[in-house]
């Protein structure tokens, strides 16, 4: 009898342990870091020059360079003398990643909002307007360093708060029926000739005449900016999942996404019309365009999904039927740009690569700057600007090549 009891006890214990092993797993548990909407919307400040935290995208307007400090704001640099640029101010905008400028009015995102600034006096910037909740599909992605499954804890999220970051910790939990294929959470928030600036290939904002196009993960947000101080959102146009970048050439918008390039006709500026899409492997995807070709960098790793990094050349002679004609292996490309017959690729740890694109089927490397880790690049008429590793690099054109003109640390 005693033997039978111990046998039953052993079976029961084994069953309990087995059930526990079956019902519980180790998860990354993501808990949102939140901010009240009222705090977000009263947080803009114009500050003296600041040390940069993490350099992001670059934008140029007249003699000024604007460098994004990821989700913190914008460093403003006087570049009147390219060999001796000077920081002049820091525009604190929580949740900022993109800007565009037209006729001395600057448009900037702040998580779900669009903020408008008068920069006619660059040393006395004035906030003119804020459009609340115009980017309702702003996505904040948790960042994890392992392959454990992910669960979420939304206990501290209320309708008067916005998710601005995540904390991650490992916990033993029961499995949940949760679709995490998108890797993130959508937050739904209750005179003279015109002069515009220029952004790089990683831009999500694009000004074309009296319209501002701003892409988010799903769509094109279209704003009428004829009244620069009081823009109005006139339309949202669904495109597809994973929209990352926007580029304009002539009457077309070219949208880079994680799974393809989209072409939209904007002959009617307030009504972009889908023209075509060409698919590619899942990867992060900026794009630039000349008269005949689109140049697309696909980056592997992190949230980008791809197992390889490449530069793709797409023939866009027929906008309705774009055709990939060539692919080149890269190391870890980010932004890119074109100037005449030069193609510039920010190839991560491989540095800045310069190609002669006269024959796109046989690109020739003319130069490579290996001692930098570039992120974004803007080719101008008279010089090339590049940002990476919290440093602004400027190059001058020499025939079909470039030479370093100056470096400017943003850490000071």
Q: 6-15, 134-143, 316-325 — which one is most confidently predicted on average?
A: 316-325
**More confident of the two residues 190 and 65:** 65
Identify whether 130 is part of a domain: yes
Instruction: Quote the pLDDT of residue 145.
Output: 74
18 sits in which H/E element: helix 2-23
Does residue 242 belong to any structural domain of this protein? no
pLDDT of residue 16: 42
Give the mean pLDDT of 163-188: 62
Which of 186-190, 258-262, 301-305, 365-369 reaches the highest mean pLDDT?
365-369
- pLDDT of 301: 62
Q: How far apart are the first and last CA of the chain?
A: 81
In the block, residue with structure tokens 């023939």: 315
Is residue 84 one of the residues assigned to a domain?
yes
Q: Kindly state the DSSP code that residue 325 receives in the 8-state scheme.
A: E
- How far apart, in whole angstroms, are the C-alpha atoms of residue 377 and residue 411? 19
**In the structure encoding, which two tokens stand for residue 412, read together?**
């000071």
* pLDDT (0 to 100) of residue 164: 85
The answer to whether residue 228 is domain-embedded is no
Provide the domain limits for residue 73.
25-190
Q: Which helix (H) or strand (E) holds 23?
A: helix 2-23
Average pLDDT of the chain is 87
Interval 372-378 mean pLDDT: 94
Quick check: is 230 in a domain? no
**Region 146-172: what's the mean pLDDT?**
82
Q: What is the pLDDT of residues 241-299, one digit of tens each?
A: 889 899 999 999 999 988 889 999 999 999 999 999 998 766 567 899 999 999 998 87
Identify which has the larger pLDDT, 4 or 391.
Answer: 391
The pLDDT-based confidence of 198 (bands split at 50, 70, 90) is very high
Mean pLDDT, to the nearest integer, of 338-354?
Answer: 95
Percent of the chain with pLDDT over 90: 65
For the chain, what is the domain count?
A: 1
- Residue 225 in tokens: 């900016």
Q: Are residues 332 and 347 in contact, defined by beta-carbon separation less than 8 angstroms?
A: yes
pLDDT (0 to 100) of residue 282: 62
Contacts with 5 (C-beta within 8 Å, 6 or more apart), sequence order:
none
Measure the CA angle with vertex 238, ends 184 and 248; round to 5°: 100
Residue 278 lies in a domain: no
| pLDDT at position 265 | 98
Position 29 confidence tier, pLDDT thresholds 50, 70, 90: confident
Lowest mean pLDDT among 33-47, 142-156, 253-267, 330-344: 142-156
Least confident stretch, 1-15, 96-110, 194-208, 220-234: 1-15
Which residues make Cβ contacts (< 8 Å) with residue 329, sequence separation at least 6? 308, 309, 310
Q: Are 54 and 125 in contact (CB under 8 A)?
A: no
Q: Would 234 be classed as within a structural domain?
A: no
- 404 pLDDT above the threshold of 50: yes
User: Exposure of 311 by Cβ count < 10 A (0-12 exposed, 13-18 middle, 19+ buried)?
Assistant: buried
Which of 84-93, 192-201, 398-407 bottoms out in mean pLDDT, i.e. has the lowest?
192-201
For residue 308, being part of any structural domain is answered with no
């Amino acid at each position: 009898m005693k033997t039978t009891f111990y046998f039953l006890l052993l079976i029961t214990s084994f069953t309990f342990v087995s059930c526990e092993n079956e019902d519980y797993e180790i998860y990354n548990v993501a808990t949102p870091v939140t901010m009240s909407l009222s705090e977000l919307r009263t947080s803009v400040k114009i500050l003296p020059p600041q040390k940069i935290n993490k350099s992001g995208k670059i934008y140029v307007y007249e003699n000024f360079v604007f460098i994004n400090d990821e989700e913190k704001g914008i460093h403003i640099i006087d570049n009147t003398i390219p060999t001796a640029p000077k920081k002049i101010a820091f525009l604190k905008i929580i949740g900022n990643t993109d800007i565009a400028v037209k006729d001395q009015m600057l448009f900037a995102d702040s998580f779900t909002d669009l903020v408008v600034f008068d920069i006619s006096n660059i040393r006395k910037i004035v906030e003119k307007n804020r459009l609340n909740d115009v980017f309702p599909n702003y996505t904040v992605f948790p960042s994890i360093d392992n392959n454990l499954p992910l669960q979420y804890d939304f206990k501290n999220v209320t309708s008067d708060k916005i998710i601005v970051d995540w904390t991650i910790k490992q916990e033993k939990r029961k499995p949940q029926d949760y679709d995490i294929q998108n890797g993130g959470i959508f937050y739904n928030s209750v005179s003279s000739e015109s002069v515009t600036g220029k952004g790089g290939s990683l831009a999500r904002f694009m000004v074309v005449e009296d319209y501002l196009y701003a892409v988010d993960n799903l769509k094109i947000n279209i704003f009428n900016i004829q009244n620069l101080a009081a823009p109005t959102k006139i339309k949202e146009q669904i495109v597809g999942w994973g929209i990352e970048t926007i580029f304009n050439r002539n009457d077309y918008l070219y949208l880079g996404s994680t799974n393809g390039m989209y072409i939209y006709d904007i002959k009617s500026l307030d009504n972009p019309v889908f023209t075509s899409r060409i698919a590619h492997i899942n990867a992060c995807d900026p794009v630039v365009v000349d008269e005949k070709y689109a140049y697309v960098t696909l980056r592997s790793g992190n949230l980008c999904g791809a197992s390889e990094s490449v530069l793709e050349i797409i023939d866009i002679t027929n906008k309705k039927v774009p055709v990939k004609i060539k692919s080149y292996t890269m190391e870890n490309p980010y932004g890119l740009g074109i100037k005449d017959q030069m193609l510039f690729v920010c190839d991560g740890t491989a540095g800045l690569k310069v190609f002669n694109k006269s024959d796109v089927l046989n690109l020739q490397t003319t130069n490579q700057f290996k001692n930098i880790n570039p992120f974004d690049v803007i080719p101008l008429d008279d010089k090339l600007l590049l940002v990476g590793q919290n440093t602004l690099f400027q190059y001058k054109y020499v025939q079909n090549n470039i030479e370093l003109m100056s470096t400017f640390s943003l850490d000071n």
